[in-house]
Amino acid sequence: MPLPPAHDWQTFDALHDDPEAWRPAMLDLARNAAPDQPVELALGGTVLVALAGDRVIKLYPPFLHD
Tell me the domain boundaries of the chain. Answer: 9-64
Are 27 and 35 in contact by the 8 Å Cβ rule? The answer is no
Span 1-41, pLDDT tens digits: 677 777 788 888 887 788 788 888 888 888 888 888 888 88
- The model's pTM is 0.66
Gyration radius of the chain's alpha carbons: 12
Best CA proximity match to 9, nearest among 65, 61, 66: 61
